[in-house]
């Protein structure tokens, strides 16, 4: 158990809908990362938050947004869902240290199926 | 931008044998970190081992060790005395030394341990 929690584990929804994925980082970690794992794109970095502020953006669609709350949990919002958004969404957390490996620990993921 | 290449999509080995998974990367940075993550059928991403680029000594974690060749930009994972529980996807990942940074993943190697 990495100490990172994600809810829900599975989500099935229809095209055009909006969903929210939730992540709680390990105790003491300030950084949260979101990754998407799909069959054709592999593991892709979406977005990173550090202590409540957006730190970096990767291949995140405009239909997707995220935020990190004062208690450091994070939510990833996916809207106007398309079939191609079906994937496994991972949250990872790290201490957020400016130097060093700042190892990321992953949650169990949320499997999103868009029908 | 950094790239990570895993040229072996699939591998299989008999239980108790030794297997080596290959990974190469491309970067212009001198200091960085390299990771191997394991993704078993449960889909959880589990950290296997970590290597700091400034360290000449290869990292070891029990049955897992790496062969880090900085000049060749190569980072292979050796699994000794392989066990059935080692069956998983293995991902090589790169992280910049510039603090709080995302992971860049390779496409993965699917390893099957044969009883």
Q: Tell me the per-residue pLDDT of B40-80, one tens digit each, with 9 for 90 and over.
A: 999 999 999 999 999 989 999 999 999 999 999 999 999 99
Closest CA to B56 of B68, B66, B43: B68
Closest CA to B37 of A72, A106, A69, A42: A106
Contact (CB, 8 A) for A21 and A47: no
Distance CA A111, CA B18 (A): 33
- pLDDT of A40 reads 73
- pLDDT of A42 reads 84
- Average pLDDT for A44-72: 95
A102 compared with A23, residue with greater pLDDT: A23
Strands (DSSP E) contained in B1-115 are: 3-5, 10-14, 19-21, 24-26, 32-39, 46-52, 60-61, 64-69, 74-79, 88-96, 104-105, 109-114
A74-107 confidence digits (pLDDT tens): 999 999 999 999 999 999 999 887 767 788 999 9
Is 60 exceeded by the pLDDT of residue B99? no
Closest CA to A52 of A77, A26, A74: A74
- Average pLDDT for A44-54: 95
Distance CA B21, CA B7 (A): 9
- Percentage, residues of chain B above pLDDT 90: 86
Closest CB to B100: pick one of A90, A102, A106. A102
Is 80 exceeded by the pLDDT of residue A23? yes
Paired with B104 in beta bridges are B94
* Contact pairs from chain A to chain B, CB under 8 Å: 61
Length of chain A in terms of residues written: 115
Is 60 exceeded by the pLDDT of residue B100? no
- pLDDT of A97 reads 76
- Average pLDDT for B17-31: 95
Closest CB to B105: pick one of A43, A88, A102. A43
Is it true that the peptide bond before A8 is cis, omega within 30 degrees of 0? yes
Length of chain B in terms of residues written: 115
- CA of B108 vs chain A CAs: smallest distance (Å): 8
């Amino acid at each position: 158990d990495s100490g990172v929690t994600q809810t829900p584990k599975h989500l099935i929804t229809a095209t055009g809908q909006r969903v929210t994925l939730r992540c709680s980082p390990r105790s003491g970690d300030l950084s949260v990362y979101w990754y998407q794992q799909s069959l054709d794109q592999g593991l892709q970095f979406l977005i990173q938050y550090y202590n409540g502020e957006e730190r970096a953006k990767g291949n995140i669609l405009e239909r997707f947004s995220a935020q990190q709350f004062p208690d450091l949990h994070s939510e990833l919002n996916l809207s106007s869902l398309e079939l191609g958004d079906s994937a496994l969404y991972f949250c990872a957390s790290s201490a957020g240290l400016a130097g060093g490996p700042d190892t990321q620990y992953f949650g169990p993921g949320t499997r999103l199926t868009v029908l | 931008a950094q790239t990570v290449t895993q040229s072996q999509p699939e591998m299989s080995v008999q239980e108790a044998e030794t297997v080596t998974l290959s990974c190469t990367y491309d970067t212009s940075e001198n200091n960085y970190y390299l990771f191997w993550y394991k993704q078993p059928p449960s889909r959880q991403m589990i950290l296997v081992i970590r290597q700091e680029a400034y360290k000449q000594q290869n990292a070891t974690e029990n049955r897992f060790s790496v062969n880090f060749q900085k000049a060749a930009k190569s980072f292979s994972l050796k699994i000794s005395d392989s066990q059935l529980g080692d069956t998983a996807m293995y991902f090589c990942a790169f992280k910049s030394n510039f603090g709080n940074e995302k992971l860049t993943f390779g496409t993965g190697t699917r390893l099957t341990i044969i009883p």
